[in-house]
Structure 1
Amino acid sequence: MSEKKLTKKAKNKVIIIAVAVVFVIALVATLIGNSDKLYEMFGIEPTPDLSENTIEVHYLDVGQGDCEIIVSGEDIMLIDAGEKEYADTVITYIETLGFDTIDYVIATHPHSDHIGAMSEVIDAFTVENIIMPKLVKRNTPTTACYEDMLKSIQSSGATVYAAYPEDTYSFGEAEITILAPFVQSDELNNMSVVCKMTYGETSFLFTGDCEAKVEKQILQHNYDISANVLKVGHHGSSTSSSKEFIEAINPKYAVISCATDNSYGHPHSEVLSLFDEMEIEVLRTDKIGNIIIKSDGVNIKVEK
């Protein structure tokens, strides 16, 4: 068999290709060390590195009440604070986490099982921002816990925001989107601030005590309410957690905050049956105490 020899032209072509390959390899090796340039070269939006950054949501056991603490790096958010008797519990918990300043406080609505301890908590820390529903004269309560909270807010010097749907707030590496309330209601449960926290590919939904009427309004606005974790509305009452609402959220976990053997019978059997039917894992503070759920932006981890 005769052996074919490369012509001078062919040899030059091979050399050019070889040089080009070496150049590309060297370029890629350089850019790998600077991924931002690599993304810029190819017009790709870089994905944040979330592997070492986790966000934590602490669902505190405050009996027949609500209290969630969210930690994102050096930032902390408090959503509700339970009854007045739990003030020391909440304050000590935040101090144990190493914070003396609260970046955001969300007071979902002015019922004592959500804001009873809020005045003392606000007094105990430097509070930067407060989000709460805007009330009118006819639905403004005259309860001591609400009036005490307003006094503490005024003294705190915090910036106060009225909660309006579609407003967004940056919180550490996460984003908070307000979904409700929409209109004034004499039923204060339906004045609850409903919000969704998105972190990377994961999300958490907080619903206060909003009931089926508000759930329907949220659905009618076609918001993306899908979430990995749902803080169940109104302590698991059947007045909340309509099937259509839960189907739209499609959570993996449903957290219920309630007291053991409470007089309301929370959580109601209808709600638990729905979660069971949808294969949603239920986590209850009356059964397991404080619940901590962590996200690295991709994965969700539950600590009980």
Structure 2
Amino acid sequence: MAKRNWKRQKAAFKAKVKRRIRQAMGALAAVLLVSAGVITIGENQDWATPSWRQIYAEFGIGETVGIPSDAQGAQTKIHFIDVGQADATLLEQNGAFALVDAGTQDAQQDLLDYLHEAGVEELGYVIMTHPQSDHIGGMRAVLDEFPVEQVLLPDFDKAPVEWWPATEQLMACIGKQQNPAIVMTAGDTYTLGDATITVLLDGVESDNVNNISPILLFEAPGVRFLMEGDAEKQVERAALENGTDLRATLFKAGHHGSATSNTEEFVQAVHPRIAVVSCGENNSYGHPHEDVLETFRREGVQVFRTDLNGTVVAYVDEENVLRIAVTKSEEAEESSLTAVA
């Protein structure tokens, strides 16, 4: 009798456990369903909820923004973020960050996700090269998302600027920053970790807003990196006539690799070992132009492109060697160059 009672008690206990498990699983499924709905709605409504991409990155599953693993431990990195037919470059040195341009509004969530994955908690500088939508579209979102120590602006007085509502809203947002924005002038130098950002030329007076783009030099142990926004031949000519020291190991091709920039004389003066082109896949502008690619070939410059290689990260390794890692490539091979001292 005692044995039968024990068996009945055991069976009842098992049944009770199964019921509790089913109830718990049902409750968990309901919680997950509600959470998924909140995350999805939050992405569409810009709520302060994590995105699916951030969640995937946290658990190492699904699609992530992707920072090349080879570059992750380096103190000095230059991230050419794949934001399509647009520009966004993240400078990183010893835990300090600066963002140069911010892509389009359509790509702003991808940009924010990438900045989070890169470890950005605050930005020392947000730098606007010029106020066009493919360079400032995501800038307001960046300013809302991260504390920013200083915003650096081009000289708007040097060319006509179209003040679209989105541009005016961005400028109003910049005006609310704790530190007043600074207009960059030639000779200015800004510190980022153990690196410096120097304004070599602050654009030129022109009827073309591209030409207010400054020429900037980022110098860190192991690398000299030159960038010129969408500056065109007029700006490049002015830099050459001024006798500006343009030499750099790494060069970001002007104006997405357009033939309106990247003149042979300018590229020769820069004398880069590597050039990176930020452009969208199959873009309607034909960037980068074949004339520019041919100039790079003649000068022995190795070219990486965000349309072909995804996000490109230049980094300096422990032996002071400048290396390139990419997130998308048919060969998926890393390139390395010895940095110029």
Using structure 1 for the length normalisation, give the TM-score.
Answer: 0.80
- Write the mapping of 1:34-49 to structure 2, written as runs, cut at 5 A: none
Q: Does 1:291 align with 2:303?
A: no
Name the residue aligned to 1:258. Answer: 279
Greater relative CO (CA pairs within 8 A, separation 6+): 1
Q: Which segments of 5 or more consecutive residues in structure 1 lack a partner in the other structure?
A: 1-51
Counterpart for residue 24 of structure 1: none
Residues 132 and 193, structure 1, Cα contact 8 Å, conserved in 2: no
Counterpart mapping for 1:30-179 below 5 A: 54-136=75-157, 139-179=160-200
Change in CA separation of 1:183 and 1:212 when aligned onto 2, cut-off 3 Å:
closer
Task: Report the secondary structure of 1:159's partner residue.
Answer: coil
Partners of 1:182 and 1:83 in 2: CA distance: 22
Give the superposition deviation at 1:112.
0.4
SS of equivalent residue, structure 2 residue 106: helix
Q: How far apart, CA to CA, are the structure 2 residues paired with 1:92 and 1:185?
A: 36
- Secondary structure of residue in 2 paired with 1:85: coil
Point out the more displaced range, 195-204 or 210-219: 195-204
Counterpart of 1:301 in structure 2 is: 323
Q: Deviations over 1:104-157 (max 9, x none)?
A: 111100010000111111111111111111213962321123212101112222
Distance 1:256 1:137, change over 3 A: closer
Counting matched residue pairs gives: 253
- d(CA) in 2 for partners of 1:92, 1:205: 26
Q: Which contiguous aligned blocks of 4+ residues in structure 1 show a shift greater than 3 angstroms?
A: none
How far does residue 186 in structure 1 lie from its aligned partner after superposition?
Answer: 2.2
Say which SS state the counterpart of residue 136 (structure 1) adopts: helix
Amino acid at match of 1:200: P
Change (3 A) 1:118 1:211: same
Q: 1:284 to 1:108 in 2, by over 3 A?
A: same
Amino acid at match of 1:190: N
CA contact (8 A) 1:126 1:156 kept: no
Relative to 1, partners in 2 of residues 1:138 and 1:170: Cα closer, same or farther, differing over 3 Å? closer
How far 1:201 sits from its partner (Å)? 4.5
The answer on whether the counterparts of 2:158 and 2:204 sit within 8 Å (CA) in structure 1 is no
Identity in percent: 35
The question of whether the paired residues in 1 share the 8 Å contact of 2:254 and 2:262 is answered with yes
Alignment CA distance shift 1:153-1:142 (3 Å) = same
Tell me whether 1:221 sits opposite 2:226 in the alignment.
no
TM-score, normalised relative to structure 2: 0.71
Alignment counterpart, residue 267 of structure 1, candidates 270, 288, 301: 288
| Matched-pair contact (CA < 8 Å) for 1:181–1:190 | no
